[in-house]
Chain A
Amino acid sequence: MENSTQPVSEAPVTNGTTLPTTNGAVSMGNGAVDVPAQDFTQSPGNYRYEPQLQAQSQTKTLAEPISADEIALYDRQIRLWGVKAQEKLRTANVLLINMRALANEIAKNLVLAGIGSLTVLDSSIVVEDDLGAQFCVSEEEIGKNRAEAAASQIRRLNPRVALQVDTEDIQFKQPDFYAPFDMVIATDLDIATLSTINASCRLCNRPFYASGTHGFYGYIFADLIQHDYVIEREKSNRPTALAPETFTRSIVATSTKKENGKVIEMVTKREIYSPMVLANTSPLPAEQTNSRRRKLQVPPLLSCLRALWEFYTISGNMPSHSHPDLALFTSLATEKHQELLLPAETLRSDFLRSFLQNIGSEIAPITAFLGGQLAQDVINVLGQREQPIQNFLLFDGEEFKGPVYALHPIFPDMDSILEPPIAAPVAGAEMPMPMPMPV
C-alpha cells in the first residue's frame, strides 16, 4: 500500500527553522531525512529537545490553585473524579505522537478534560485522505504540517491548555527528549518505532501508551512501568491485607480518613508492567488458555496484529493484495496464533480477509471509541485513581468486542503467586527474562 499508516516509510518533513506559534510555544523542527527506526543514535545532538520549555509551563500552572471558573467549567467531571484528580490533571504534561484520527480524538478528550500541557508531534503533512476521519484538519490545510494543522483546532477546544507543536520526526528524538513529559502516547506506528519510544520512556521512567487502528480494528497497549493508584472505600471490618491480588497487582498500603462521620479507607494498589517488546512475544495469561472454551473467546485480532507488526518488520511495508504478501501474512498470522496456543478454527479466513481489507484505514466511530478509552485511562492514571489497562486491549468494532489481556513474559498460575515465578510454556519461542525494575 502506497500510503501506509507508518511514517517510518515516509520522508519526514524538512523544516529547519524554529517557528513561534500563536500561544508562544515553540515548534521543533529539523532537516534530517530517512533515518531508519533503530538508528536514532546517529541523529546529531543539536536536535535535542530543551526540557526547560515544559518545565516552565508546568511551574506556572502548579503555582495557581484551581479557580472557581475552572470548577464551573469542569463541574461534571469533578463530580465524577473529584477535585484532587482534577488538580493532578491540570499540572500534567503529555506528549502525543503522530496526529492521525486516533490522536485527534485523544487530543480532544485530554484538552477538554483540562490537562496542563499537551505536545502534539508529527513530521508528516496533511493529505486529502486525512480529511476522512481527522476532524482537526480541513481542506485548506492540505500540504501543511499535520501537527501544526491539528493544533489550531485543538487549541480552540480549551484555551486554558498549553499546547505545543513539535514537527520533528520521532525517529530523531533522543531518550532524554521524553523526560519532561508525565505521559507519552504514541499512535499508529510500527512495532520497532513503538519499542524504541517505549525503551526511551523506560530510561527516564515515563509511562507509555501505544495505540493504533486499522479500520474496524484497533488496540491499546500500556506500559506504566510501575503504577500506584488509590481506591477509596468505606472501611470494612475485614482488614485489608497488604498482598498480591493478581500476578501484576498488589495492595501496597492502606490508610484511613474520616468523612461525614464515616471511616474511609484509602487502598493503594500497584500494577507492574512489561515493555511492549516483551509483551508482544508473551503468552496469553494462563487462565485464558487453560480451557478450550476460553481459548475460543480470544479474538484472532491479537494474532493478526502481531503478524502485521512482524510483516512490517520483515518487509518494510504493509501487506498489499499481491499473492506473495497474502501468503506471507497468512503464514505469519497462523504462526502467531499457534504461539498463543489458540485453536486453528478461530483464525477464520473471513476474519483474515476483513482484517487485511481494513489495514491502514481509519474510520470515525472506531477512532472515537479507542480515543475515548485511551484518554480516559490516561486521565485516571494521571489522577492516580481507577484500575488502568493491564496491559493489552483489543478492539473489534464489527463484533463489539474489547477484551483486555495481561501479556507478560512470565505468567504463573495464581496458585503459585507467592512462589518463585515459573515460566509459562510458549510454543517455539525462547523465554525472555522478567523485566527489571526501571532506574
Chain B
Amino acid sequence: MGRDRFVRQSLGALYSRIKQARILMVGAGGIGCELLKNLVLTGFGEIHIVDLDTIDLSNLNRQFLFRQEHIKKSKALVAKESAAKFNPHIKLEAYHANIKDPQFNIEWFQGFKIVFNALDNLDARRHVNKMCLAADVPLIESGTTGFNGQVQVIVKGKTECYDCNTKETPKTFPVCTIRSTPSQSIHCIVWAKSYLFTEMFGTSDDEAPEFDHSEDTENAKEIENLRKESQALNSIRQSMGSVDFARKVFEKVYKDDIDRLRSMEDMWKTRQPPAPLNFDGLSKAAEGISPSIAQQDQTTWTEAENFAVFCDSLKRLSSRLQKAQAQDAEAAAPSVLTFDKDDDDTLDFVAACANLRSIIFGIERRSKFDIKQMAGNIIPAIATTNAMTAGLCVLQAFKVMREDITKAKMVFLERSGARVINSDTLKPPNPNCSVCGVMQSRLIVDPSRATLNDLVEDVLKTQLGYGDEFSINNDVGTLYDPDLDDNLSKSFVDLGVKTDSFLTVIDDEEENPRVNLSLSISEKSLPGDTKPVQVPGKLHIARKPKEVPAPTANGASNGHAEITGTKRKRSLEEDSQREPKRGKIQMNFNTDGFLINDVVIADDQNDGAIVIDDD
C-alpha cells in the first residue's frame, strides 16, 4: 500500500532500479514540465534539470509547473520547486544554466543512467546528442509541433543518433539556388512545388514566399533567362491534354533547361554539373511499373518509378484542371489548382518532379512521406501534444531500463483517424554519420609538456599507424594537416586545446581510410618518464565503408522548434486502412491572419512556412 503501490504493481522488478536511477532532463519547457511530472510520479530516484530560460506569459498555457507569479524566474528552479510537491521522496537538482557550459562535461554526463532531451532547438539537441554518445549514456530525444510529436531512443553503437539524418529547417532561398543551382532536396521540393506546379496548374503570377529576391540584382542576366524559361513553359501548358504533353513538359524542364544551365560553365567550376534526363530511355525503363507505386510513400522511388509517377500524376492533374475549366467556362477567373500536401494528386506530382530534379543534380532522393513533411508547415506547441509526448518518453525509458533496446521504438503521434500512435523500429547507426560514425576516445594530456607533435608522432603515427595524409581539427578550425605544420611545436595550452574539448582526426588516405577519430581531452599530470600524450587502452579504428552517399551537412541550426521530415516514418502494417487523402483534415489551419508580438501569423498557405520561436 502507499504512494508506490501502483508503480510496483505495474512495473514489478523494474521499479527498484527506477528508484535508484539518477537521470538528467535537459530543458524544462513544454515537454519538460510534463516529463518532469511523469518522472517524479514514476519514482526515478534522482533527477537533474538543466534549463537556461526564464518563464514567459505565453508559456503558461502549457508549461503547467509555472504560474503568473513565476514570470521572469528560472524555468529549471521553478520546475524543481513545483515538481517536488508531487513526490517528496525524489532528489531534485536544478541548474539555471546552458547545457553547453563546460561544467556539464563528459564525466558529468556519465553519471546518469538516462538523459532526456526536452529541448526546442537544434543546436542544443545536437550538443546533448554528441555528449551522450561520448559518455555512452542512452538519450531519449523528443519533439513536438502542433498536434505532432515524436520520441526517439538513441543508444551509442546500436541506434541512429540525432545527427544520422539531415535536419531540414524552413527558410527562404535565393531564386537562383532553386532555379539553377540546387544542392539539397529541399531546393528541389521548393522548385517542384512553388515553380513547376504553379507554372503548370496554378496562376503563374502567384509569387511563392520561399523565394528570396535579395540577390536578384547580382544575377540580373540569369533572372532574365529564368523569366524566358517560365514563358516557354507557359506555352507548353496550352497543349495540356495532348498526347505528347508529358514529353513536352519533361523535355523542357529535365533536358532543354538543364542543357542550357550546363552550358554556363562558370556555374559548374566548383559544383557537379547537372546531367539531363532522357524521356525515351526512361519510358522504356518505366514499362511495367504500375502507377500505384505512388501509394508506397515510405520507400524512396527509383528513377524509373519517379518517372512513372510523374507521367501518371501529370495526367491526373491535367484532366482535373481541364474538367474544372470546362465546368467553369463562364466564370470570370480561370480555374487553377493549388498544391495541398493532403491532396495526393498534387503531392505525387511534386514528389516525383522533385526527385527527378534531385537525380539531375546528384542530390539524394526522398520518399513521398518525407517530401510531404518538408513541403508542409511548421506549427506551434500545445499542452496536450506535449503531455502525450512526455508520457511516451517515460514508456521508452522503461524499455531502456529493462535493457531491452529492441523493444524501444521510434514513436510518433498520428491523427489519421485510424490510430493515435505509430511506431517504427529503431534504425542502426548511419556509418557515414559525422557524429556517431566516428571512433571516440579520451586523450590524456599532460598540459605542462604536451605538444601537438607528441600527438602526431607518438600517438597517431607510431601507436595507431596513421600514414602522412590526415588532419587534426577542432571547433576553431584545422590545427594540423600535411601542409600545415606550424603548430607542431606548440603546446596544447598555447593552442587553446583545453580539458573536455574535442579534437577530430580525419584520415585522408585514398586507400581505405579510417573513420574519423574524435578525441576528448583530459588534462592530467603524467610521470616524467612516460609520454606526455596518451590514449587509454587499445584502439581499433574501423575503416570507412565504401561509397555510401554521405548525409548532406546542414549548418542551418536556427534555434527554432522543429520536427524533421526525415525522421517521420509510419509503419507499413496498417496502411491499407487509411482513408483516401484527398480533402483530408488540414491540421495547420489558422482561420485568420493577425499580428501578435511582432510575429506575423500567416493563414494557411501550404507553402508559407511559419517559424515560431518557442519555449
Chain B binds chain A: yes
Chain A residues near B327 (CB-CB < 8 A): 237, 239
User: A76, A361, A376: which contacts B381 (Cβ < 8 A)?
Assistant: A76
B421 and A234 form a contact (CB under 8 A)? no
A364 interface residue per 8 A CB criterion:
yes
Q: Is the CB of B147 within 8 A of A376?
A: yes
A215 touches which one: B9, B62, B415, B584 (CB < 8 A)? B9
Q: What residues of chain A lie closer than 8 Å to B398, measured between beta carbons? A: 365
B418 touches A403 (CB 8 A): yes
A142 CA to B34 CA in the complex, in Å? 24
Interface pair A76/B614, CB less than 8 Å apart:
yes
Return chain A residues, CB-CB under 8 Å to B574.
Answer: 294, 297, 403
A363 within 8 A of partner (CB) = yes
* Whole-angstrom CA separation of A102 from B96 in the bound complex: 32
Which residue of chain A is the closest to B612 with respect to CB atoms? A79
Please list the residues of chain A having a beta carbon within 8 angstroms of any beta carbon in chain B. 71-77, 79-80, 82-85, 105, 108-109, 112-114, 128-129, 131-133, 135, 138-139, 156-159, 215-216, 231-234, 236-240, 245-246, 259-260, 262, 267, 287-288, 294, 297, 357-358, 360-369, 371-373, 375-376, 379, 385-387, 390, 393, 395, 397-398, 400-404
Given A132-B3, A365-B42, A373–B417 Cβ distance below 8 Å? no
Q: How far is the CA of A307 from the CA of B38 in the complex (A)?
A: 30
Other-chain contact of B62, A112, A246, A368 (Cβ < 8 Å) = A112
Interface check B94, CB cutoff 8 A: no
Give the CA-CA distance A199 to B338 in the complex, in Å: 46
Which interface residue of B335, B411, B591 has the most chain A CB atoms within 10 A? B591
Neighbouring B residues of A395 by C-beta, 8 Å = 420-421
Q: Does B392 have its Cβ within 8 Å of any Cβ on chain A?
A: yes
- A/B interface sample: 24 pairs, CB < 8 A: A79-B610, A80-B147, A83-B594, A109-B387, A112-B61, A236-B340, A259-B603, A260-B593, A260-B603, A262-B338, A288-B577, A297-B573, A365-B42, A365-B398, A369-B392, A371-B387, A372-B387, A376-B388, A387-B415, A400-B392, A400-B421, A401-B419, A401-B423, A404-B417
Closest to A214 in B: B10
A233 partner residues in chain B, CB cutoff 8 A? 340, 342, 583, 586, 589
Given contacts A73-B60, A400-B395, contact A83 B2 (CB under 8 A): no
Q: Assuming A368-B394, A393-B420, what are 7 further A-B pairs, CB within 8 angstroms?
A: A73-B60, A82-B589, A216-B10, A238-B320, A294-B574, A363-B6, A376-B384
**Which A residues lie within 8 Å of B592 (CB)?**
82-83, 259
- A365–B340 contact, CB under 8 A? no
**Which residue numbers of B lie inside 8 Å of A, CB to CB?**
1-7, 9-12, 34, 37-38, 41-42, 57-58, 60-62, 64, 67-68, 85-88, 146-147, 320-321, 323-325, 327-328, 335-338, 340, 342-343, 379-388, 390-395, 398, 409, 411, 415, 417-421, 423, 573-574, 576-577, 579, 583-594, 596-597, 601, 603-606, 610, 612, 614
For the complex, what is the distance from the CA of A390 to the CA of B62, rounded to whole Å? 27
In the assembled complex, the CB of B244 is this many whole angstroms from the nearest CB of chain A, namely 24
Q: A245 vs B338: C-alpha distance in the bound complex, in angstroms?
A: 23
- What is the distance, in angstroms, from A22's C-beta to the closest C-beta of chain B? 16
- The residue in B60, B340, B573 that gathers the most chain A C-beta atoms within 10 A of its C-beta is B60
Cβ A74 vs Cβ B6 within 8 A:
no
A131 partner residues in chain B, CB cutoff 8 A: 2-3, 87
Residue in chain A with minimal CB distance to B145: A80
Interface contact B3-A83, CB-CB below 8 Å: no
Also in contact, A132 and B41, with CB within 8 A (given A260-B603, A358-B10): yes
A215/B388 in contact, CB under 8 A: no
Task: Assess the B42–A363 pair: CB atoms within 8 A.
Answer: yes
Note all chain B residues with C-beta closer than 8 A to A73.
57-58, 60-61
The answer to whether A82 touches B591 (Cβ under 8 A) is yes
Q: Known A76-B62, A135-B86; judge A404-B38 contact (CB<8 A).
A: no
User: With A129-B2, A364-B42 in contact, do A240 and B391 touch (Cβ < 8 Å)?
Assistant: no
Q: B11 — nearest CB in chain A belongs to which residue?
A: A363
Task: Return chain B residues, CB-CB under 8 Å to A216.
Answer: 10
Q: How many Å lie between the Cα of A390 and that of B387 in the bound state? A: 22
Contacts of A156 in B (CB 8 A): 67
Whether the pair A132, B379 counts as a contact (CB closer than 8 A) is no
Q: Nearest-CB distance from B603 to chain A (Å)?
A: 6
| Closest chain B residue to A112, Cβ basis | B383
Contacts of A231 in B (CB 8 A): 583-586
- Cα-based distance from A279 to B415 in the complex (angstroms): 22
Residue of A nearest to B410 (CB): A400
Whether A237 pairs with B320 at a CB distance below 8 angstroms is yes
A72 to B599, CA, bound (A): 12
**CB of A254, distance to nearest CB on chain B (Å):** 11
Q: Looking at the complex, which one of B88, B573, B589 makes contact with A139 (CB distance below 8 Å)? A: B88
When C-beta atoms are compared, the residue in chain A nearest to B608 turns out to be A260
Residues from chain A with Cβ under 8 Å of B588 in the complex? 80
Q: Which residue of A lies closest to B206 (CB)?
A: A261
Question: A129 vs B3: C-alpha distance in the bound complex, in angstroms?
Answer: 5
Q: Is the CB of B419 within 8 A of A402?
A: yes
Complex contacts, A398 vs chain B, CB 8 Å: 395
Cβ–Cβ < 8 Å partners of A109 in chain B: 383-384, 387
Which of the residues A112, A128, A287 comes within 8 Å of B3, measured between beta carbons? A128
Residue pair A79, B597 in contact (C-beta under 8 Å): no
For B203, the closest partner residue in chain A by CB is A261
Could you tell me the distance in whole angstroms from the C-beta of B585 to the nearest C-beta in chain A?
5
A108 to chain B, nearest CB (A): 6
B42 touches A246 (CB 8 A): no
**What A residues does B62 contact at CB under 8 A?**
76-77, 112
- The distance from the CB of A367 to the nearest CB of chain B, in whole angstroms, is 8
Q: How far is the CA of A240 from the CA of B583 in the complex (A)?
A: 9
A403 touches B419 (CB 8 A): yes
Chain B contacts for A379, CB-based, 8 A? 384
In the assembly, what is the distance between CA of A72 and CA of B61, in Å? 10
Q: How far is the CB of B335 from chain A (nearest CB, A)?
A: 5
Contact of A72 among B42, B58, B583, B584 (CB under 8 A): B58
* 10 nearest A-B residue pairs (beta carbon): A237-B324, A372-B387, A369-B391, A368-B391, A215-B10, A365-B394, A402-B421, A82-B591, A364-B41, A372-B388
Tell which of A105, A233, A246, A365 has the most Cβ of chain B within 10 Å. Answer: A365
Chain B residue with minimal CB distance to A231? B585
In Å, the complex CA distance between A387 and B67 comes to 32
Which listed residue, B37, B393, B423, touches A135 by the CB 8 Å rule?
B37
Q: Tell whether A369 pairs with B387 under 8 Å between CB atoms, given A215-B9, A363-B7.
A: yes
Residues of A contacting B385 in the complex (Cβ-Cβ under 8 angstroms): 372, 376
State the Cβ distance, B147 to closest chain A Cβ, in Å.
Answer: 7
Q: A374 — nearest CB in chain B belongs to which residue? A: B384
Docked-complex contact B585 and A387, CB < 8 angstroms: yes
Across the interface, A234 reaches (CB within 8 A) one of B1, B340, B384, namely: B340
Instruction: Tell me, rounded to whole Å, the shortest Cβ–Cβ distance linking B180 to chain A.
Output: 29
Determine the distance from Cα of A363 to Cα of B11 in the docked complex, in whole angstroms. Answer: 9
